[in-house]
Structure 1
Amino acid sequence: MIKVGYTMMTEQAGPRQLVEDVVRAEGVGFDFSVASDHYFPWLDEQGHAPYVWSVLGAAAQATSTIPLMTYVTCPTFRYHPVVVAQKAATMQLLSEGRFRLGLGSGENLNEHVVGRGWPAVSVRQEMLTEAVQIIRRLFDGGYVTHHGEHFQVEAAKLWDRPDTPPPIGLAVSGRDSCELAGRLADVMIAVEPKSKLVSMFEAEGGRGKPKVGQIPVCYDTDRERAVSRALEQFRWFGGGWKVNSEIPGTAGFDAASQFVRPEDVAASIPCGYSVDDFVEAVRPYAEAGFTEVALVQVGGDAQQPFLDWAEKALLPALREL
């Protein structure tokens, strides 16, 4: 049975609502929750980008059982890896062991703000590898000094360190990232239901480890209204990772998605209130070998109806996968 998660989409809701919604998600029975770590929304229409680590700290105190996870944090530009290690260790303590640290090589959209440029993907992967190694060493305890190609660390130590460090997840999209995740990660993260990602991850050491996917959905009792909302706020989604990681701002995403049609969005995002449509959208993840999938309800003002419907209709159906 695949585990079903709830996404705190920081690009489409403010911090207080995000916490209120994850409390409700825990109450209706979601198995876990993930949260995006953004400095910018994808589109102006989404309109939000609170600091996710404050949101996660509040969520850890407001909930009691639901696991929490970043989906995903880039530990190489806005944040130095020693700071990410401190954040994650603190979250593991606050949540009493319910936190997983999801990491990735980042998007220009969020990382350009510190003015360090945006190198080629091969360099970003090198930086991610070095960052994960630093974080692991800090989780192990003691002082860490590191003089690497991309990062310098001088006598760093985590003074509040959980007995069990948070598992580390790595986002994958191809062979190189699967090889890295298989070697260094406890969890695989992906946004496409590709069985080859699972097989490559497992071949590199990931066999038996969780594999977490994510999918946008747009519940509404009026399907036409759901399609319209998905077009307004998620038309960027079809660009694919190679495009989405490179565009530096909301104006670029607006331009890149200007010719996306309502029918294009409806073909890739289940919209409306048909349980079968939502189940069939999730099914490819289960068939590809993913163990968990997090749902993103499109539209920050539409969470409560979605969560009520999920409790009564959607979650019981998804438990059958």
Structure 2
Amino acid sequence: IVASSSLYGGTYNLLNVTLPRLGITTTFVDASHPENFGKAVKENTRAFFVESLGNPKLDVLDLEAISKQAKAAKVPFIVDNTVATPALLNPIKHGADIVIHSLTKYIGGQGNSLGGVIIDAGNFDWANGKFPEFTEPSAGYHGLVYHEALGNASYTFKLILEGLRDFGGALSPFNAFQIIQGLETLSVRIRQHSENALELAQWLEGREEVAWVNYPGLASSPYKALADKYLPKGQSGIVTFGIKGGFEAAKKFTDATEVFSLLANIGDTKSLIIHPASTTHQQLTAVQQADAGVGQDLIRLSVGIENIEDLKADLDIAFKSL
């Protein structure tokens, strides 16, 4: 796999530590230069993987440019679209072959149900010679030749007929019900998340205690041009900023809020706060943390849909605690 280096900590650990035990290795690249994906391709490369909006780096990727590199390598382009959500961005329109979401986040919206989804665009040619499991008889399913029987729908059916059967991963009915209930209000909620996040980011830029602020919707963001292209309806609800005082000040700050709950989840209607360097990304080396955009001073906010003045007041109390 060739993957962006700016990934959620758990995903990075899966690719960097767990999958190599199964013989699957990953080359991590700086995704701000799409040509890096093509340069990293090897004879055994079988997929490109990115987050459309990196967590917590919040880098907006040029999906169309990376898609061209994937097509040249004849491998599927997989996009984790969890932070952007399908209400703000449809990666398939920009060249993605497979899109995944953590349903636990914005789609569910309440942080109370675990789930995931895989969306197959149905556009990838699995018979291009690199994927014999789709063109040769399947020992796991009565000798079925997936591509011969199902064409470009081969991937979806292989996931169902072998993946779910052999590895599990099926949602419980009640979790599925809760997630469907959340999906009904996604388009309304994500607009409020985005509005609150932008206003809070602009407010943080004026605080003397803050060293820097990162949000793709800010005029000062290096990703503003790409955000205008790919996320014109809003840039979602994640804001990161650096606090003067570094690691210890950041930890103290996250302990001082009351409206913002100290939790590792994102995408909840309620506002959440965390210090990734001491929590979600603590297992990474200093170099890996830097590649993922996680500085020692970085605080990540998952901005909810509460009254914006309440959120400002809560952060103001935390600043005063320092």
TM-score, length basis structure 1: 0.30
User: Greater helix share, 1 or 2?
Assistant: 1
Which of the two has higher C-alpha Rg? 2
